[in-house]
A = this chain, B = another copy of it.
Amino acid sequence: MTEYAVVGRRLPKLDAVAKTTGETVYLGDMKLPGMLHGKVLRSPLPHARIARLDTAAAARLPGVRAVITAADTPRVKFSFVEALADKYLLCTDRVRFIGDEVAAVAAIDEATALQALDLIEVEYDELPCVFDPEAAMQPEAARLHNGASNVAWEVHQEFGDLERGFAEADEVFEDRYETSRVCHCCLETQAVIAQAHQGGRLEVWAATQAPHTLKHELDRLLQLPPGSVRVHYPPIGGSFGNRLVADMKAPIAAILSRQTGKPVKIVNSRTEEFETARTRYPYLVTMKTGVRRDGRIVARAARVICDNGAYNDKGPSTVASAGVTFAAFYNVPNVRYDGYIVYTNKQPGTGFRGFGNPQVTFAGESQLDMIAERLGLDPLELRLRNANRAGEAAASGARPGTCPMAECLRQAAAKIGWQRRRELPPNRGLGLAAMLHTGAGARMYGYNSASAGLTVDEEGKVTLVSSVTDVGQGAQTVMAQIAAEVLGIGLDEVRVIGNDTDLTAYDLGAWGSRTTWVNGQAAREAALRARERLAQSVAAWLEAAPEDLEFQGGKIFVRGAPDRGLDFAQAARLTYTKRGEPISETGRFVDELGPTMKGWGDVYPTFSTACQAVEVEVDPETGAVRVLQAVAVHDIGQAINPMAAEGQVEGALAQGIGYALMEELLLDGGRAVNPTFADYKIPTFIDVPDPQVVLYSDPDPTGPFGAKGIGEPGLVPTAPAIANAIYHATGARLRSLPITSERLFTAMREQPAAPGPRRAAETPEPPGGASPDQRADGSGPDKLQR
């Protein structure tokens, strides 16, 4: 492995001090001169016509500066994907979920704004509702929108020959899985400040993961000329996909600002945050897998029904993304993916760490354990036989350049003590799950490039202007490490700025684990150019060739002669003062396939893989699950900052434990019934073991210093690994998330006493025989023999 000085080192993030001392200014703390406070009136009903809407009393309230309704907004529908636009900024004549935006006010303070909301009079005529996505797909179901059905979008892809694949299988298994509605639970609630300027421009401060996307979305939402919007993106207190699509508060604040001539701020209360949350999409996944007796998967089909909620957001994108990964995961020659996004009278979902992949991986990796048991194979062995390998193309054409999946599986098994499976005390279980995910964003939006600016100042301090969105993952620190490595200086010498769409070149944002791979290459290129510039001046003084110079340890010297050199800072100063030369350069990374991507095989530039293994203990009296140990072996190419990368995995794993065991936003007639942290439980330190995170190093030639992304993978395999371990401990196979103690307790009580699953795993039943799965939650696998 190459030895680096800054890259690969466990360094504190650049913003660590400011964040830990509370000095960081989040949007909620920001005040602009003359700023007003806005609040949104939301529908209290899941489906209704607006019969009457009267804002007169609200407008008369002293301190109120503006009250707006749909009449004040452009007559244009919106969605993240323009072709799927379905939502007005404010509801015109109909509300479709509890929380749908009906009107908004701006007032001199928040209390007045809230008082004004109470004075807005609305009369509704209720309409029939649909809450279940499968029921919503029926022709007779009440319709939410004008389309032919409640299916908002669908996708169908087949690679290889599915039918022949199943025909060639020795066994075919079909099972149905269900995932839950979970909230991102960012500690910073959503907020926005908008200021409509006299000259026509709209300036917006938003905690967003995709500021350039937000810019365009606001152009569309407000029907502004291109280039009208400038987005500032201050530090962000958590995002996880929750800040990818424009929240309506942004255009609402903009219109309120335009009407009042003042900046307008809107901040969610915690309750609003829950009640109006865009959640992770619940998926119904029917997974059908054909295998040979030796465990080789020969055909695989997934049918996904995604509960879209009332409007499109990232639904189509997540369903498609999950399909792209599904089609590449494991070396399967014949693959089919069918996805449906279905409207229901519920709050819309959005992207959430993994972008559909955790849902489908929960199904696939749960089923693999079930198949292994039926085939009498060790679940680890079954996975190893089907593992993706570097350079081997999947049926879809996707070809991971690096892919140490087998190594991750083996290391995870070794670390958790997989050989202990047969020796565990009662109520303990081991489980593992693998995953494949993009390590480099996606090309599905037609552009996957980046640029960065780098200035070495007259004191040798380096400023990198990067369009990365640092959502707490340490993106700015990682960019700084890359620049520092190239320039042979310490991390302290580098600052990163950006956070302004006027300043940074177009960028897709922080999602899809793309930042390190995409923006890192631009940062590296910018640093290389600055290095070249410095080499030229230093070479002139040292009477050496520029290419013979080393940049190392804060010095620039002739290779092999460390005494013949200058301090980096000195070299910078002299370049300015003795040559009159500023050192300011731009670096670009061009992903040429971005715009020309042809099919699912090209969507992800490169892949990350991982295996997580857990040991659980189940309380037989209560069904409560404790995760005793968690091992996460993640392929990251080359970690730029192992501490930050591990932090990503640790945080995601904790979120995965919540996803597996406790989190769920419960809706009753479309209304959230647990919209507080008292009732919506997220894991605390008690619930999360100190995880063993292993960053498997296998430098990817396409990434900067071999790096790939790590933002999402840590959550993707956690839930199925836990579900598999619970099955191992209890013989109860739960195919619905979350596996709450109540659900597990019920499932355990319903299962017959014998044969225990552990023994079942040891002495497999003959294929076609009864499976413990049938006892788990009542819906046994539909086993199709051909």
State the A residues within 8 Å of B (CB). Answer: 17-18, 21, 23, 25, 29-33, 197-199, 212, 226-227, 446-451, 453, 455, 457-461, 463, 465, 493, 495, 497, 500, 502-506, 522, 569, 576-586, 588, 590-596
Asked if A457 and B505 make an inter-chain contact with CB atoms under 8 angstroms apart, the answer reads yes
Chain B contacts for A596, CB-based, 8 A: 578, 580
Asked if B505 and A455 make an inter-chain contact with CB atoms under 8 angstroms apart, the answer reads yes
| Cβ contact of A465, chosen from B448, B495, B503, B594, cutoff 8 A | B503
Minimum CB distance partner of A449 in chain B: B580
Asked if B586 and A586 make an inter-chain contact with CB atoms under 8 angstroms apart, the answer reads yes
Chain B contacts for A446, CB-based, 8 A: 577
Chain B contacts for A593, CB-based, 8 A: 580
Closest A-B pairs by Cβ, 5 of them: A580-B594, A227-B461, A451-B584, A451-B582, A226-B459
**Number of this chain's copies in the complex:** 2
Distance in angstroms between the alpha carbons of A594 and B18 in the assembled complex: 39
Minimum CB distance partner of A26 in chain B: B33
Asked if B582 and A588 make an inter-chain contact with CB atoms under 8 angstroms apart, the answer reads yes
- Given A23-B198, A31-B31, CB of A590 within 8 Å of CB of B581: yes
| Cβ contact of A584, chosen from B23, B29, B576, B588, cutoff 8 A | B588
Chain B contacts for A594, CB-based, 8 A: 580
| Cβ contact of A503, chosen from B449, B463, B581, cutoff 8 A | B463
Distance in angstroms between the alpha carbons of A503 and B502 in the assembled complex: 13
| Cβ contact of A577, chosen from B33, B447, B450, B569, cutoff 8 A | B447
| Cβ contact of A461, chosen from B226, B497, B588, cutoff 8 A | B226
Chain B contacts for A457, CB-based, 8 A: 227, 505-506
Distance in angstroms between the alpha carbons of A503 and B458 in the assembled complex: 13
Asked if B505 and A17 make an inter-chain contact with CB atoms under 8 angstroms apart, the answer reads no
Asked if B576 and A581 make an inter-chain contact with CB atoms under 8 angstroms apart, the answer reads no
| Cβ contact of A590, chosen from B17, B226, B579, B591, cutoff 8 A | B579
Chain B contacts for A505, CB-based, 8 A: 455, 457, 582-584
Asked if B451 and A465 make an inter-chain contact with CB atoms under 8 angstroms apart, the answer reads no
Given contacts A463-B503, A503-B503, 8 further A-B contacts (CB under 8 A): A21-B198, A212-B458, A226-B459, A227-B493, A449-B582, A453-B453, A580-B592, A584-B586
Chain B contacts for A450, CB-based, 8 A: 582
Minimum CB distance partner of A200 in chain B: B17
Minimum CB distance partner of A533 in chain B: B588
Asked if A449 and B581 make an inter-chain contact with CB atoms under 8 angstroms apart, the answer reads yes
Distance in angstroms between the alpha carbons of A504 and B495 in the assembled complex: 13
Minimum CB distance partner of A201 in chain B: B495
Distance in angstroms between the alpha carbons of A500 and B463 in the assembled complex: 11
Chain B contacts for A500, CB-based, 8 A: 497
Distance in angstroms between the alpha carbons of A32 and B31 in the assembled complex: 7
Distance in angstroms between the alpha carbons of A536 and B457 in the assembled complex: 31
